[in-house]
Amino acid sequence: MRKGYINILVDRCKGCEMCIPSCPHDLISFPMKVLNKAGYFIAQFDDPQEKCPACKLCAVACPDCAIVVYKRVAVAAGGVK
């Protein structure tokens, strides 16, 4: 079950690569394949084995607030009261 994942906001990313070394699981790369509207190559999140713990280190490292982190929240048995 996926614990977390990130979304890199394409139009905010300036390709500074500061998120890459901040990820303890090496899930962010800089393949220089996709350009955004401003002409910057963007970082890419790749997590086929679902290792992302949603630690938010990448989002903290990003100077342009281009990373949104999502974390799965466990729901108690019986639903929400």
Quick one: fold of 1-81? Answer: Alpha-Beta Plaits (3.30.70)
The closest alpha carbon to 33, from 19, 15, 52, 59, belongs to 15
Is the pLDDT reported for residue 72 higher than 90?
Answer: no
16 close to 8: Cβ distance less than 8 angstroms: no
Domains in the chain: boundaries: 1-81
Lowest mean pLDDT among 1-5, 9-13, 41-45, 47-51: 1-5
Nearest to 4 by CA among 21, 24, 18, 20: 24
Alpha-carbon distance 24 to 42, whole Å?
Answer: 19
Per-residue pLDDT band for 76 (boundaries 50, 70, 90) equals low
* Alpha-carbon torsion (59, 62, 63, 64), positive or negative: negative
pLDDT confidence of residue 78: 62
Question: Coil, helix or strand for 29?
Answer: strand
Residue 80: pLDDT over 70 = no
pLDDT at 2: 74
Can you tell me the mean pLDDT for 8-29?
A: 97
Question: 79 pLDDT band (50/70/90 cuts)?
Answer: low
Compute the distance between CA of residue 25 and CA of residue 18 in angstroms, rounded to an integer: 14
